[in-house]
Amino acid sequence: MTASADYTRANDESRARLRAIISRLDRGQLATNVMEGWSASTLLAHVAFWDRFTLQRWQSRLAGNVVPDIGPLADALNDAAVPMWNAVPPEVATREAAAAAEAVDRFVAALPPDVIAEVLAEGRPRWIARSEHRREHLEQIERALAR
Query: 3-class SS at 39?
Result: strand
Contact 142, 32 (CB under 8 A): no
First to last CA, the chain: 39
Q: Which domain holds residue 34?
A: 3-146
CATH number at residue 51: 1.20.120
Please name the amino acid found at residue 85: W
Ordered per-residue pLDDT tens for the chain, 147 residues: 466 679 999 999 999 999 999 999 999 999 999 999 999 999 999 999 999 999 999 999 999 999 988 988 999 999 999 999 999 999 999 999 999 999 999 999 999 999 999 999 999 999 999 999 999 999 999 999 998
Give me the residues paired with residue 38 across strands: 35
Number of domains in the chain: 1
Give me the residues paired with residue 63 across strands: none
Contact 34, 140 (CB under 8 A): yes
Q: How far, in Å, CA of 31 to CA of 104, rounded?
A: 26
